[in-house]
Amino acid sequence: MNSNANDISGYTYGTPAIAVSSATLNDLQRLKTSVGFTEDDERSLLLAGFVLKDDVERIVKHWRANIIAGIPHLAKHSRNLDGSPSPDYLARSNRRFEQWIIDTCTRTYDQDWLNYQQEIALRHTSVKKNQTDNVVSTPYVPYSDIVAFVAVLNETIKPYLAAKGHTESEVSSMHKAWIKSMHIQMALWSKTYMESGEHGKEW
């Protein structure tokens, strides 16, 4: 699973299909400084990538099947407009979500990474949601629900980080680096949301 990202339908990281982000590398540096993201965090994330890589299917299932599916105002975004399941949509976006875990941990945070941050954010807004999988579902995921759900990602990732027998201190370092990355990513996504659609409507 996920050994070859090229096999993932709709996964277009680093390809010419992806627009250049409006956030610059200077913006990224500023956010890294604001959040206190260091080279130690980069190393911890690489270790986290090694720890998580065989578990990503289980982790995304945990988030989506065990948590989101039980919360109607969240579950509807992966369903048809009448509320019926859309299994292919779910399965395809699950694969890309799984790859995102690996990318978060192992990719260099460079221009390609920034560009794909913008692309993923757009795929939650009315600019691009539903298009990758050619489905008819809700027009966007509210930004506020995404930010709120980060608390769930951060809490639930910890046991997976601890699952390969690393010391408490190593697990704690991986977890802190993960949380900093989440904050950087949400700061970047907020720019995309502010720039998309009618001002403030997709909050």
Q: Establish how many alpha carbons lie within 13 A of residue 131's alpha carbon, considering only the half-sphere containing its beta carbon.
A: 11
Q: Distance (Å, rounded) from C-alpha 163 to C-alpha 147?
A: 26
User: Which residues, numbered 23-82, are part of the site for ligand HEM (CB under 6 A)?
Assistant: 68, 74, 77-78
Binding string, residues 133-152; x marks residues near ligand HEM by CB under 6 A: x-------x---xx--xx--
- Beta partners for 85? 79
Stretch that binds ligand HEM, among 14-22, 40-48, 54-62, 120-128 (CB under 6 A): 120-128
Judged by beta carbon, residue 10 or residue 87, the one nearer ligand HEM is: 10
SS3 category, 79: strand
CB of 1 to ligand HEM, least distance (A): 16
Q: Distance (Å, rounded) from C-alpha 177 to C-alpha 46?
A: 10
Helix segments in the chain, DSSP class H: 25-35, 39-52, 56-61, 72-75, 87-106, 111-122, 143-161, 168-195
97 is a site residue for ligand HEM (CB under 6 A)? yes
100 is a site residue for ligand HEM (CB under 6 A)? yes
CB of 126 to ligand HEM, least distance (A): 11
Chain residues in the site for ligand HEM (CB under 6 A)? 10, 68, 74, 77-78, 93, 96-97, 100, 120, 123-124, 129-130, 132-133, 141, 145-146, 149-150, 153
